[in-house]
Structure 1
Amino acid sequence: MRCLQLLLFLVCVVTSARAYHVLCVFPIPSRSHNSLGKGIVEALLGAGHEVTWATPFPPKESTKGLKIIDVSATASVSEMIDMNDQRNADAGIALIRTFAANITRLSLSVPALQQAIVSGKYDAVVTESFFNDAEAGYGAVLQVPWILLSSVSIMPHLEAIIDEVRSITTIPLLFNNAPTPMGFWDRLTNIFIYSAMTISNWLERPNTVAFYESLFAPLAAARGIALPPFEEALYNVSVLLVNSHPAFAPPMSLPPNVVEIGGYHINPETPPLPKDLQHILDSSPQGVVYFSMGSVLKSSRLSERTRREILEVFGSLSQTVLWKFEEELKDLPKNVIVRPWMPQSSILAHPNVKVFITHGGLLSTLETLHYGVPILAVPVFGDQPSNADRAVRHGFAKSIQYKPDMANDMKVALNEMLSNDSYYTRARYLSKIFGDKLVPPAKLISHYVKVAIETNGAYHLRSKSLLYPWYQRWLVDIIAALLLACLAVYVAARRVLCYLWSSVNGGDCNRIKVKKN
């Protein structure tokens, strides 16, 4: 009997500790987006799973349980687009869609990724949502649960894939920098933006379907299956992971298969600073200003005049300035230190950092929330203006326009932030809210991936609204039936009254004429 109990115990332990094999496809040639993929991969590896990771930035060191597929061929796409060029920054959704489609096409042209899809055996696939719905083909071809990651707060397009769109009347869209609650004109603007995006998606849908079929039909055939229809593949998201947090993004009403994991890319154990930087930060009694425009925007592409004027502003400060700059600069002020790379999280974790000058990307913004550092935002494109405005409304940031003569605006904003403790106080308050998490994001990631696998798609967590056609979700059929019922009652009552009137008075009630007085 004891032997049987021991055997059952061992079976339960082995079953509960079963390792799964997950394919993670993160081909966007951006260090920040690579950090998103790395965070997912590390969470899965930490839970004991095996991971195959398609990335344009292969790690130098091997890791147990991790197989790398090098898709650095996608780097040529980013080289074609200079986001420091304001014409590209203003090009909008059309440019981003072309950018995203080229990334998908180039990554799927890599033989190693093709082979992994055709012959690999996986339990789930994780991809990032980035303006290209054709990536629904990964889950469709592999016939495994599809876990989708949104790198920003959930937008109506994604909301429509997993549930009914409810947010447009109460929550500003990504490109609508309105406060919450919104006024009449802000809500009207929200509706116009949503309508424009919906029409744009509808017009683009034939191209997306053709792109989906051209990329994934050959892979499905090689795997010996028929490629599912595009709509069936797109609306088959098992779990949607969203890189947001209520401390920064407005809370939304969403189904249980949508999980907020804001800040999951941040290492809970901040790496130590290099000794020289540690000494610099420790020996700066007036504080430190840190300046970085991220991995896509290159500070080195600023004009010579802009560089000179910014250096003059920095030289006038009593604080030490750390500037992530990709090239060597001459004639630096004594308080300015320039390097092509800076350990951002380790710098932000230091208590002497007073202000972080940033482009306002979501990852950098979430890092400032984590460490409680005020930001001076210089947004350029995409979600950056929206993030910057939201940070300003939260009270821990100021924002200036990205332009050649922005140095004076930067000086005014820096003087205000360095002399007013309210920005730092607010940043620390929001940091406390941001860090108050019952379950670490990494555990949420591994848990919901496991749930999706073990329940064959997490259908019990999905919204049931998508089982109904639009006219049923909006109660059009119910309203029509009630109106017809009211009309039928009216007609029946009128006929009964006419019959009774005719029986008492004689004649036809339909021919009654009202006498004029």
Structure 2
Amino acid sequence: MKLALLCVLVAVLAGGAAGELAPPQASYKILMLLPVSSRSHRNVFLPLAKALAERGHKIVMLTSDEKPIKHPNIYKFEHGHKFFDEEALNMFDYLNDPTGGFSLMKDLFPTVARKLYDSPQFQELYNKRKNFDLIIIDQTFNEVAYPFAYEMPFITVAAGGMDPRHSAVLGNVLLPSYASNLLFDYPTPMTVWQRFVNTVAHIGMAVYWRHWAVVPELQKEISARFPDLPPLLEIERNQSLGLFNSHFSISKTVPLLPSQVEVGAMHCRPATPLPEDLESWISGAGPEGVIYFSLGSVARGNSMPAKYRQAFIEAFHKLPHRVIWKYEEDLEGLPENVMISKWLPQQDILGHDNVKVFITHGGQLSTQESIYHATPLLALPIFSDQPRNAFFVKNSGFGEMLLWEELTVEAVVDVLTEITTNPKYKENVLTASRQLRDQLTTPQERAVFWTEYVIRHKGAPQLRSPAAQLSWVEFFMLDVLFFFHVAVFISIRILRVVMRGISTLVFGRGNHKVKTQ
């Protein structure tokens, strides 16, 4: 009997050493809320949802996505509203927006709240929220879902990676002396001017979103419907954990709290065989290889201004490479070395040895996929965090970046020639790919473990930093510094009075006048 128990113990320890999770203690009911999300954000949630479902948990996912999820333990609840209609949005309109395109949320958020909470199905789900063991909320754009989290254990998923605003909510204020802001990145160490600009961006974006333009308008709508509910930002501070779509090998390294878990590239997977037509096109390109071009799911290729589209067509005509271009419509005047398609298996293309460069908008998921598959990048950022990712790509030597206002036929030809002929880009991104893959546990396993951990420990309050409950005055000890300065000022004044008194006693009052006859 003892021998049998010893064998079981050894087996459990061996499984733990190999990174395998122990069986769950129970089947939990988990509500995932991403009512305002793009396709890329849903692609971050799906690996976690499927991994949890495979362990026997019951998942209800609230989303606007019409694509079915084929798993018996996942129920997809569609609210019927398309707040991110990729076909209607033209993100090129926000190229020069100083907020990175976030300004469009100012008027959208109150409308989102009205439409969602007016829905009988949505209201029914809200009324049943306490039947769930845990709520998981998409951290970006989904403050509208915070009423669900009131008096409930909940965690957030940061699909866009490390957001200084989100980190500060958890009690970890990332200093602008080294941490990137949400919109752009600087190489380190920063100059005095760069630290100044970075500080303004850190503070400005947080104030604009949370206290000035966006959340206050949403708060008015929520307060009108739920007058007894605490403020949304107060509910937000009670989250147990944040799962961040980042990893130190492919983003700037920052200190983390126990309540901050990196699960970057959770959606990445090894490449699978390509369809015959794509395999033939890529393999037949010879040693020059293939350039893959996609602007993601939100910034569609057919929304690109005509002058940029024509510049790419002319540039591709001058290059010896074949090109695969994700484009949603037919194009006239394409050179013979260009193939277009409305949909493409991106990770399988990036994983092909003969793909030399990925021309990308610099979205978080596309950037991670390219690094995971060791493909150099040419980043053309449009909005949101894309400029930050593009700067990181350039500063890390994974590729180059071009601004759209700089885009010409010659610029495209020159930069693609540089990336395909200079081996440093491939070497750098290959090194990063090896570092990203070299992990004790997979991102999915970490996400699943910590999700179940929060449920097992009833919200896991032990993870939360006391700093999360402090005001800015308390956190930076501005009140203490104020009293310290007052004390120093008073001490100096007292010292001056004392010294003046001593001087009077020793030397007498004033100077003796010398009388002259």
Deviates more, 1:403-412 or 1:357-366: 403-412
Q: Quote the Cα distance in structure 1 between the aligned partners of 2:412 and 2:296.
A: 18
Q: Which residue identity does 1:278 align to in structure 2? A: E
Mapping for residues 38-437 of structure 1, pairs under 5 Å: 38-60=46-68, 62-75=70-83, 78=86, 80-86=88-94, 92-100=101-109, 102-120=111-129, 121-131=131-141, 133-140=143-150, 143-200=151-208, 201-204=210-213, 206-214=216-224, 217=226, 227-266=229-268, 268-286=269-287, 287-304=289-306, 306-403=308-405, 406-437=408-439
Q: Which residue identity does 2:132 align to in structure 1? A: Y
1:21 Cα offset (Å):
0.9
> What's the secondary structure of 1:392's corresponding residue?
helix
Q: Which residue identity does 2:155 align to in structure 1? A: I
1:170 Cα offset (Å):
1.9
* Structure 1 residues 343 and 383, CA gap change in structure 2 (3 angstroms): same
Contact 2:86 2:299 in 1 (8 A): no
Q: Quote the Cα distance in structure 1 between the aligned partners of 2:406 and 2:468.
A: 48
Counterpart of 1:448? 450
Contact 1:74 1:107 in 2 (8 A): no
> What's the secondary structure of 1:414's corresponding residue?
helix
- Report whether the alignment pairs 1:513 with 2:510: yes
* Structure 1 residues 498 and 235, CA gap change in structure 2 (3 angstroms): same
1:60 Cα offset (Å):
3.2
1:102 Cα offset (Å):
4.2
* Structure 1 residues 456 and 470, CA gap change in structure 2 (3 angstroms): same
1:28 to 16, 36, 60: 36
* Structure 1 residues 114 and 270, CA gap change in structure 2 (3 angstroms): farther
Deviates more, 1:387-396 or 1:475-484: 475-484
> What's the secondary structure of 1:380's corresponding residue?
coil
1:238 Cα offset (Å):
0.9
1:392 Cα offset (Å):
0.6
Contact 2:95 2:382 in 1 (8 A): no
* Structure 1 residues 316 and 42, CA gap change in structure 2 (3 angstroms): same
> What's the secondary structure of 2:205's corresponding residue?
helix
Counterpart of 2:14? none
1:124 Cα offset (Å):
1.0
Q: Quote the Cα distance in structure 2 between the aligned partners of 1:289 and 1:479.
A: 57
Contact 1:257 1:458 in 2 (8 A): no
Counterpart of 1:223? none
Q: Quote the Cα distance in structure 2 between the aligned partners of 1:493 and 1:85.
A: 63
1:119 Cα offset (Å):
2.3
* Structure 1 residues 391 and 328, CA gap change in structure 2 (3 angstroms): same
Q: Structure 2-normalised TM-score?
A: 0.85
Q: Which residue identity does 1:275 align to in structure 2? A: E
Q: Quote the Cα distance in structure 2 between the aligned partners of 1:456 and 1:508.
A: 71
Partner deviation per Cα, 1:470-492 (whole Å, 9 max, x = no partner): 44433345445556666787788
Partner deviation per Cα, 1:59-83 (whole Å, 9 max, x = no partner): 3353111111113412475555321
> What's the secondary structure of 2:393's corresponding residue?
helix
Contact 1:55 1:69 in 2 (8 A): yes
Q: Quote the Cα distance in structure 1 between the aligned partners of 2:480 and 2:309.
A: 64
Q: Quote the Cα distance in structure 2 between the aligned partners of 1:402 and 1:512.
A: 76
Q: Which residue identity does 1:127 align to in structure 2? A: I
Q: Which residue identity does 1:70 align to in structure 2? A: E
Q: Quote the Cα distance in structure 1 between the aligned partners of 2:122 and 2:301.
A: 34
1:509 Cα offset (Å):
7.6
Q: Quote the Cα distance in structure 2 between the aligned partners of 1:324 and 1:83.
A: 17
Partner deviation per Cα, 1:187-236 (whole Å, 9 max, x = no partner): 11122223323442323454342233245x28xxxxxxx53343431211
Deviates more, 1:169-178 or 1:251-260: 169-178
Contact 1:90 1:381 in 2 (8 A): no
Report how many residues are paired.
Answer: 493
Q: Quote the Cα distance in structure 2 between the aligned partners of 1:403 and 1:106.
A: 38
Contact 1:177 1:389 in 2 (8 A): yes
Contact 1:77 1:99 in 2 (8 A): no
Contact 1:400 1:406 in 2 (8 A): no
Unaligned residue ranges in structure 2 (runs of 5+): 10-20
* Structure 1 residues 50 and 234, CA gap change in structure 2 (3 angstroms): same
1:496 Cα offset (Å):
8.8
Unaligned residue ranges in structure 1 (runs of 5+): 219-225
Deviates more, 1:43-52 or 1:178-187: 43-52
Q: Quote the Cα distance in structure 1 between the aligned partners of 2:22 and 2:54.
A: 17
> What's the secondary structure of 1:167's corresponding residue?
coil
Contact 1:81 1:88 in 2 (8 A): no
> What's the secondary structure of 1:450's corresponding residue?
helix
Q: Quote the Cα distance in structure 1 between the aligned partners of 2:422 and 2:63.
A: 43
* Structure 1 residues 118 and 415, CA gap change in structure 2 (3 angstroms): same
Partner deviation per Cα, 1:409-467 (whole Å, 9 max, x = no partner): 21111111122111111111111111122211111111111121222222111111234
Q: Structure 1-normalised TM-score?
A: 0.85
> What's the secondary structure of 2:328's corresponding residue?
coil
- Report whether the alignment pairs 1:37 with 2:39: no
1:367 Cα offset (Å):
0.5
1:171 Cα offset (Å):
1.6
Q: Quote the Cα distance in structure 1 between the aligned partners of 2:299 and 2:489.
A: 64
* Structure 1 residues 486 and 407, CA gap change in structure 2 (3 angstroms): closer
1:248 Cα offset (Å):
2.6
Q: Quote the Cα distance in structure 2 between the aligned partners of 1:320 and 1:496.
A: 86
> What's the secondary structure of 1:328's corresponding residue?
coil
